[in-house]
Amino acid sequence: MSVPYLHLVGARPNFMKVAPVHRALAALGQPQMIVHTGQHYDPNMSDVFFDELGLPRPDVNLEVGSGSHAAQTARIMTGVEGVVLDRRPKALIVYGDVNSTVAGALVCAKLGVPVVHVEAGLRSFDRTMPEEINRIVTDRLADVLYTPSEDGDRHLLAEGVPKEKIVCVGNVMIDTLARLRPAALARWAALAPTLPPRYGLVTLHRPSNVDDPVVLRSLMAALEQIGQALPLLFPMHPRTRARLADLGWREEESAVRILEPQGYLAFLALEEHAVLVLTDSGGVQEETTYLKVPCLTIRENTERPVTVTMGSNVLVGHDRARLVAEALRIAGGSTRPSEVPPLWDGSAGDRIARDLVQRGF
């Protein structure tokens, strides 16, 4: 059986990106299916996202699990190839920069199936980041490249991508945020009584921050220092908690309050009401820019520079002194003006769907 559009997702951020495109194509009466590679799969962290986003359960779950980049990518390619040969989609739509994205693009490029890349053109110019390699390869293979901001267009044109393949549509992550913001705010009434009146929100997951004991110990020391002035809430992945236990860190003696991993709506409510957010997540940089919540990104670079040049984001790298100084500055009420980038208006998914249908994909 053939389907026109096959959406490939592999990790939680992909769910927020596929939801508006899937919704918009459905409104146009376009048959489609979702393949979840299971690259990052935990029922407690994945199933709730499908429920909250109003997405149907995936038609196929490849359940590839974790592993080295090579092993995981190979398993994804093998699984995706079988689905594509069976379903013969008109086009494969991939999202972001995870291993599932580049694996799907490689398979379909070799099978002659058009590849559509949503969130194309982002560049950190740091090839030590696996995501940067995934972005570059996927963009070279893609037949249509939908960018979230004008810097993405510039990067692709500089790399020789033909102009007719590139469409700046805005940010699909913001589509999901804007649609579900009222539902997230409805959660606040139940959350607020359990939280400090003023707090900072922390999210860290990148191996460069949580897998290096020296870096993690330094970051936690900085968070402890900030937490003396502003209570910090840290929804923490179990893997990070295990890393901290290895360091002898004691939660009961900390100024940082550890929370269980949050669903999308609860996390969005926490984000909206935070005094500041400390993160290493690309998606959180975008969300805080839209919400105009001050954000400190604990990375040396970002593939989303528009969040720095226009938005509420500040790159602090791994400079502990700067991280503490910037956080205390914001906690003391000193913030800078920010703007929402063009086309981050909740309609990117609609623009993508209309363009796909017009192109005949």
Could you give the residue numbers annotated as active site?
Answer: 205
- Beta-carbon contacts of 197 under 8 Å, excluding residues fewer than 6 positions away, are none
Pairing of strands 166-168, 200-203: unpaired
Q: How far is CA 351 from CA 142, 153, 169, 347, 357, in A?
A: 18, 16, 6, 6, 10
CA atoms within 13 A on the CB side of 200: 31
- Beta-carbon contacts of 354 under 8 Å, excluding residues fewer than 6 positions away, are 24, 28
CA angle at 14 for the pair 10 and 16, rounded to the nearest 5°: 145
Query: What is the residue whose two structure tokens read 């998606």?
Result: 283
138 and 101 Cβ atoms separated by less than 8 Å:
yes
Q: Angle at which helices 213-227 and 320-331 pack, to 10 degrees? A: 20
* Terminal Cα distance for the chain, rounded: 17
| Dihedral angle computed from the Cα positions of residues 154, 149, 92 and 207, in that order, rounded to the nearest 10 degrees | 90
